Structure 1
Amino acid sequence: MGNIDLRFYRSIFLRRFPYFIVIALLVSAIGFGIAYVLPPVYRADARILVESPQISADLVRSTVPAEMIKQIQVIELQMMTRTNLLALADRLGLYRERPNLSANDIVDDMRSRTTIDPVRFETPRGADGATAFSVSFKAQDPVVSANVVNEFVKLILQRNVRLRTDQASDTLSFLQQETEKLSGKLNELEGKILAFKNENKDALPENLAFRRTQQINLQERLLQLEREEASLRDGRSRLVQIFASTGRVSGTTSLTPAEQALEQFRRILTEQRAVFSDRSPSILALQSQIAALEKEIQSEPSGADASIGKRRPLEMDMQLMEMDRRLTLIAQEKTALKQDLAELNQSISATPSNEMGLNALERQRQNIQAQYNMASARLADASTGQQIELRSKGERLSVLELATPPQRAIGPNRLGIAFGSSVAGVALGLGFIVLLELFNKTIRRPIELVEMLDIQPLATIPYIRTRGETHSKGLVFLPATLRRTLRI
C-alpha cells in the first residue's frame, strides 16, 4: 500500500470524472430502457404421472420395457423434431405476427422455450417414490403458453400409447414368425428322422438288444441242428452197417415199419416243440407226417402173415427215407438260419454308425424343440402383454395436472437488468479511464521522470493555475468532454 500513490490516482479519476459519469449514465439509461420495454414472459406447467401397472407383475408381465424415463426421452426427441414443431406452431398460430421468421428460427425458438423435466419427490432413504414429469413452455401470452403445454401433453400421451402398443405388437409379430420358423424346422427334421428310421429299420439302436438275443437264439438253434444232423447221419450209418452185417434191423421186430416211423416222428415232434412254436413250419410238417402215418397204420391189414416176409426191408427203407427227409429239412433250415444270421450280423455291425447319425438328428431335434418351446412360451407372454397394453392395464402415463394460464410473469427480471446495467456502466466508465491512461505517455510525477530519463531531479514544481484559469477551464472542459463522448 505504501507504493501506491492514492492521491495521484484520485486526481486522475477526478480529472476524468466527466467521462466516467457520462458513460455510466448512458449505459444505465440503456439498461433501464431495455428493462422497461421488454415484454413479460409467462410459463405454463403441466404434470404427467407415471402410473404403476394395474396388474401385478408377479402374475402377468408386460413385454414393453419398464424404463419409462427412457421412453419419455424418446418421446421428447420425436416430439421436438422439425416437422412436429412447425406443425404445432402453424396449428396454434404462434408466429402469425412474425411472418418473416424462418422455419429454422421458429424451431430453435420453440425448442428453447420448451422444457420437460422429471419431478423430484422427497422420500425416505431407500424407498421408491412416485415418478412424474413436468412439461412447461414460455410465451408472452399466458393463454398461448397454456395451450402449447396442453398440446405437448396430448402428444406425449398419444405417442406413449402408440409406442407401447407398437412395441408389444412388434414383439408378438417377431415371436410369431420365430415360432413358425422353428415349427417348420422341427417338422422338417422330424421328417428326416422318420425317413432315416424307415431306411434303416432293421439296424436301429432301439432294437439292438432284441437282435442280439435273436442272434444268440439262431446260433444256438444252428448248433442244435448241427448236432441233430450229426446224430441222424451217425444213426443212418449204424443202421446200414447193422443190416449189412446181420440182415435185420435190431430192436424193431415187434413193430411194423410204419409204427416205428410213427414213434420216431412223435419223438422228434416232442423235441422240436421244446425249441419251436406250434406255428413253426417244421412242427406243422411233422404233424402232417404223423397224421399221414396214423392214417396209413389204420388202413394196413391186421394179420401178421401179410407182412412177415417184408417187414425188415420195408422197415429199413422207411427209417432211411425218414432220416434222409429229416436231413433235407435240417439242411434247408440251416441255410435259412445262416442267411438270417448273416443279415442280423450285418444289421448289428451297421447299428453303431446308424446310432451316431440318429443321435445327431435327435440332438438337433432336441435343440430345436427346446427353442420352439421357449419361443412358444414367450409368444404366450407376448400375446398377454399385447392385451395388457391394448387395454391400458400396464404402466402408463396420466395427466396429473393440466396447464392453466399463469397469473404472474416469470420474467424478465427488470431489477436485475437495471442493476446489471448500472454495474456495467460503472465498469465501462472505469475501463475507459484506465484505457485513456494507458495511452497517455506524458510525464506527470517525479518517479516517472526518474524511470523515463534515468536522472534524479533536485526538486519538482507543479504548474499552479490561477483562480481565473481554473474557472474558465472548468467551464470549457465540460461541453468539450460531452462533445468528445458523443463522438465516441
Structure 2
Amino acid sequence: MQALRYIWRLIIYRKFWLAAAFAAPLIVAIFISATLADIYESRAVINFKNYPELYPDSISSEGTSKSELDLAKTFLLTRHNLLTIARMRSVFRTGDRLADDQIVAAMLANTSVTISAGRNDATLMTIAFRADAAATASQVVSDYVDTLLAQNTTTQTEAATQTADFLRTEVDRLRLAAETSRTAVQAFQQAHQQTLPQTLPQRRVELERHQNQLRQLERDVFDVKSQKAALVAQLQTGALSASAPTTAEQEVSRLKRDLSTALAIYAAKNPKVIALQGRLAQAESLLARERAAAPGRKLILMEIETLEARLSDATSNRAALQDKIDALEASLRNTTTALELDRLRNDLTAAEDGYQKALAKLSAAVTGEQLSVSETGQRMTVIEPPTRPTMPSGPDRKAIVFGGGLVGLLAAAGVFLVLERGNRMIRRSQDLIESLGLTPIVTIPQIAPRPQPVAAQRVRY
C-alpha cells in the first residue's frame, strides 16, 4: 500500500511531463481524423451457377470449383484490367504523376474480392472498391462486374465449343470401335462354330449318339470274334458232323491213353514211352490228313474269312467313332473359346454403351453451345449490383482518436520510466540501502507540510 502511495506521489510530481506526453499523440490523432478525406465503398455480389445438364460430367465437374473462382479473381485483378479501369475512371487525382506500378499497387490495396463457396452453399463472389468519391467507387465496381461477365461469356462459349468438338471426335471413335468389335465377334463365331457355347446341347446329343453306336459296335465285334473262335475250334477238333468217331480218331484216343499209362509207370526216356510217342505222332498226322480231306472244311474256312472281313470293318468303324468321340469331348472340355467369345462380347457391349453415352453428352454439349452463343446460359448472375454509396465507410475516426489516446498513455508511461530511472535522489530508506548499502536505525515518516509554492517543492525534492 505504501508503494502505491509512493508511486502516486511521483505521478503527481511529474504530472506536467506526463500530461504533455499523453496529449501530444492524442492531438495528432485528432488532427489526422479531422483532416482525412472520407472513403466511400461500393460493392457487388455475383452468384456462380452451374448447369450440369449442359456440361457433361466427363468434361466439367458438378458445381463451380474453387479453382474456377480463383481463376476468375486472378483474371479480374490482372495488371491490364487494373490500369485500364484506373485510367478510364480517373480513380487517382494525381494519376498522371503516378507510375504504372504505383497505380496497380493502389488499385489492389483499395480492391477487395471475397469468395464464399461450399458443398451445400451458394457460390458467391463479393467485389468491393474504396475511393474518395462515391461515384468513382460505384463506377469501378461496375467495371469490375462488366469485365467478369464479358470474360465469362467468352470463356463459356469457347469451353462449350471445345466440349462439343471433343465429343464429336469421341462419338466417331466409339462408333468405329463398336463396329470393329461387332465384326470381330461375327468373325470369331464363324471360325469356331463347332465349339461355340450355343452349340453345346447339340454336341452333347451327338456325343451320346456316337457313344451308343460304339457300344453296339463293340458288341458286334465280340459276337464276330466268338463265332470265329468257335469255327476255329471246330476246325482244330474236327467236329464237322455228329457221326461216330473214325478209326484214326479211335487210334489216336487209344494211343493217348496208353502214353498216359506208360508215363505213370516209366520215365520219360524209357524206350516204351518213346515208342508210344512216335506211334501217337503218326496217328495224329494221319488224322489231320483225314480232316483236311473232309467236305465241310471249305465251308468253315469261307465263313471264317467272312467273319474276319466283318471284324476288320468293325475295327475301322470303331476307330472312326472313337476319334469323333474324342474330338467332341475335347470341345466340351475346352473353355478357351467361350472365354474369348465372352471377352469379345464384353468389348462390344462396352463400346456400344460408351457410344450411347457419348451421343447423350454430345446432345447436351450442343445445347450448351447454343445457349452460350445466345448468352442465355450464363454461369454468372449479379444478385447485388453496385450502387453509389450515400454514406462514407471510412475512415473510422473514433478508432483513430482511441488509438491516439492509447499511444499517449504508452508515451506517458515511457516518459515516467525514463525520468525515474535517471533520477538518483534518495527519497526512502530503501533507496539508502540500495545506494549505500547502509541500514538506517530510525526512519522518520514524512509529515505532510503546509501548502507551499511549486518552486519550494522542487527544492525539497
When the two structures are superposed, what TM-score results if normalisation uses the length of structure 2?
0.60
Query: Which residue in the other structure is 1:456 paired with?
Result: 440
> Deviation string for 1:78-125 (max 9, x for gaps)?
3223443344334444347245645554434323322344799xxxxx
Residues 294-349 of structure 1, C-alpha deviations (whole Å, 9 max, x = no match): xxxxxxxxxxxxxxxxxxxxxxxxxxxxxxxxx9xxx9xxx999989968975774
Matches within 5 A, 1:127-138: 134-138=126-130
Q: Once the 2 structures are TM-superposed, how far is the Cα of residue 148 of structure 1 from its aligned partner?
A: 0.7
Correspondence for 2:74? 77
Task: Flag the 1:161–1:336 CA change in 2: closer, same or farther, 3 A.
Answer: farther
| Displacement of 1:152 | 0.8
Counterparts of 1:136 and 1:165, CA distance in 2: 27
Name the CA distance, whole Å, in 2 between partners of 1:356 and 1:119.
Answer: 54
> How far 1:459 sits from its partner (Å)?
4.3
Aligned amino acid, residue 439 of structure 2: I
Distance verdict in 2 for CA 1:454–1:164, change over 3 Å: farther
1:39 aligns with 2:37: yes
Map of 1:427 onto structure 2: 410
State the AA in 2 paired with 1:368: A
Offset of residue 32 of structure 1: 2.6
Tell me how large the CA RMSD over aligned residues is: 4.8
SS of residue matched to 1:4: helix
Distance 1:398 1:459, change over 3 A: closer
Provide the residue aligned with 2:300 in structure 1: none
1:159 matched to 2:151: yes
In 1, the alpha carbon distance for the partners of 2:363 and 2:77 equals: 36
Deviation at 1:136, TM superposition (A): 1.8
What SS is found at the alignment partner of 1:429? helix
Aligned match of 1:183: 175
Q: Which residue of the partner structure matches residue 197 of structure 1?
A: 189
CA offset digits 1:378-437 (Å, max 9, x no partner): 333444444454445557433345434333322223343234323422431232112321
How far, CA to CA, are the matches of 2:208 and 2:99 in structure 1?
98
Give the counterpart of 1:67 among 22, 40, 63: 63
Instruction: Tell me if structure 2 keeps the 8 A contact 1:168–1:382.
Output: yes
Gaps of 5+ in 1: 121-127, 231-326, 475-488
Please show how residues 241-256 of structure 1 align to structure 2 within 5 Å: none
Q: Which residue of 2 aligns with 1:407?
A: 390
Of 142, 145, 161, the match for 1:150 = 142
For residues 162 and 337 of structure 1, the distance between their equivalents in structure 2, rounded to whole angstroms, comes to: 83
SS at match of 2:112: strand
Match of 2:361 in 1: 378
Q: Distance in 2 between matches of 1:344 and 1:187?
A: 38
Paired residues of 1:211 and 1:344 also in contact (CA < 8 A): no
Distance between the aligned counterparts of 2:320 and 2:4, measured in 1? 132
Instruction: Kindly indicate whether the alpha-carbon contact (under 8 Å) linking 2:135 and 2:388 is maintained by their aligned counterparts in 1.
Output: yes
Q: Which residue number corresponds to residue 297 of structure 2?
A: none
Give the equivalent residue in structure 1 for 2:420: 437
> Secondary structure of 2:391's partner?
coil
Structure 1: which amino acid aligns with 2:78?
Answer: T
Aligned 1:321-340 pairs, distance under 5 A: none
Tell me by how many angstroms 1:154 deviates.
0.8
Paired with 1:14 and 1:199, the residues of 2 have a C-alpha distance of 115
Any idea what the Cα deviations from partners look like across 1:39-66, whole Å, max 9, x if unmatched?
A: 221112334456797xxx8xx5654556
1:94-243 superposed matches below 5 A: 94-95=91-92, 97-98=94-95, 101=98, 103-117=100-114, 134-201=126-193, 203-210=195-202
| Residue aligning to 2:3 | 4
What residue is the counterpart of 1:362 in the other structure?
345
Aligned partners of 2:454, 2:64: CA distance in 1, in Å? 82
Deviation of the 1:214 alpha carbon: 6.3
Which SS does the other structure have where 2:2 is aligned?
Answer: coil
- Count of residue pairs brought into register by the alignment: 359
Q: CA deviation at 1:129?
A: 9.4
Instruction: Give the 3-state SS of the residue equivalent to 2:3 in structure 1.
Output: coil
Specify the code of the residue in structure 1 equivalent to 2:35. V
What is the distance in 1 between the residues matched to 2:95 and 2:457? 56
In structure 2, relative to structure 1, the CA distance for the partners of 1:451 and 1:147 (3 Å cut) is: same
